[in-house]
Amino acid sequence: MKGRKILNILHMKYAVEVARVGSINKASETLLIAQPNLSRSIKELESDLGITIFDRSAKGMVLTPQGEEFIGYAKKILSQIDDVENMYKAGRPLKQRFSISVPRACYISEAFARFSTSLSAEPAELMYKETNSSRTLNNILQMDYKLGIIRYAEKHEGYFKEMLEEKGLYYELVTEFQYVLLINKENPLAGKDEIRYSDLRPYIEIAHGDPYVPSLSMAQVKKEELPDDIIRRIYVFERASELEILSHNKDAFMWVSPVPEKVLNKYGLEQRSFPDNKKIYKDVLIYRNDYKLTELDRRFITELCLTKREYIKD
């Protein structure tokens, strides 16, 4: 049609690579294209779309909010193009794909590890992202992740269910649990018969730095999930780093979903039930209403159910 611009697929690929490496220089090397030509291609793409995809600075190329949304759609389009090409190239098997965004939990990572051993020898691409509920929702709605698991306190269930239904997402309860206290076996609290909130004040809490509840500000959520009676706190974003800190720092503690014995032994940790902690949390599997589960998805969900039964007792 006259006046309608057709997006350049090659320019789209360039933008995705720049977003991945965060630099025109690095992207020009991986794409084998001259830097000025790559910069011009990105500017042409932004002009065609009428948006700014990247903020340019001395530190590199950073996605704008509109750019992040566009890159999510671009990845979907490029993935579909790859699938079509694979489908019609003789003798080239279709790549197995699996993607999930989840909270940080031992039973979930164990399920993924076991599931990964079931892959056939055919080409495969698996993505496993540990993050908070907000990013999990964004990953499914904007970034082409197929499955997600979100975690919320039971008192916020109404907020989440309303939002999931509004966004056209299917949801199903995986498990519910109370957090346990995780400490180093040499922590002085390990010798106490019963630990109370008042006992924790002198110690260092390891906490996830990205709590999230819809309709509540970050300040409100942090006040609820991270009360002020703990005066020392380390914020982490990766599960491996939290376990390493607990393993080395005898004064640290953390609230977690139940941890298996083999992980406790590996890092020299102890988990304790906590009589003062009555809050119930729920982990909920989500995906788009129009998404049809693949064989890989079903295999992962089977492993998830098995590890949940092993780690989280009713």
CATH architecture of 9-66: Orthogonal Bundle (1.10)
Fold agreement (9-66, 95-169+285-311): no
pLDDT digits (tens, 9 = 90+) for 242-256: 888 999 999 999 988
Whether 189 and 246 have beta carbons less than 8 Å apart is answered as no
Mean pLDDT calculated for residue range 244-273? 91
Question: Would you say 33 and 76 are in contact if contact means Cβ atoms under 8 Å apart?
Answer: no
Tell me the CATH class for 179-278. Answer: alpha beta
Residue 177, beta-bridge partner list = 281
The token duo for 94 is 């279709």
pLDDT (tens digit per residue) in 93-119: 567 789 999 998 899 999 999 999 988
User: Could you state, in order of their start, the residue ranges of all structural domains in the chain?
Assistant: 9-66, 95-169+285-311, 179-278
Among candidate residues 276, 271, 249, the one with its CA nearest the CA of residue 260:
271
Render the burial of 83-104: b for 16+ CB within 10 Å, e for the rest.
eeeeeeeeeeeeeebbbbbbbb
Distance CA 271, CA 260 (A): 9
CATH code of 95-169+285-311, in short, is 3.40.190
Of 211, 276, 203, the C-alpha closest to 233 is 203
Task: Write down the pLDDT at residue 92.
Answer: 59
Compute the distance between CA of residue 229 and CA of residue 139 in angstroms, rounded to an integer: 34
The model carries a pTM of 0.68
For the beta carbon of residue 284, count every other beta carbon within 10 angstroms.
Answer: 21
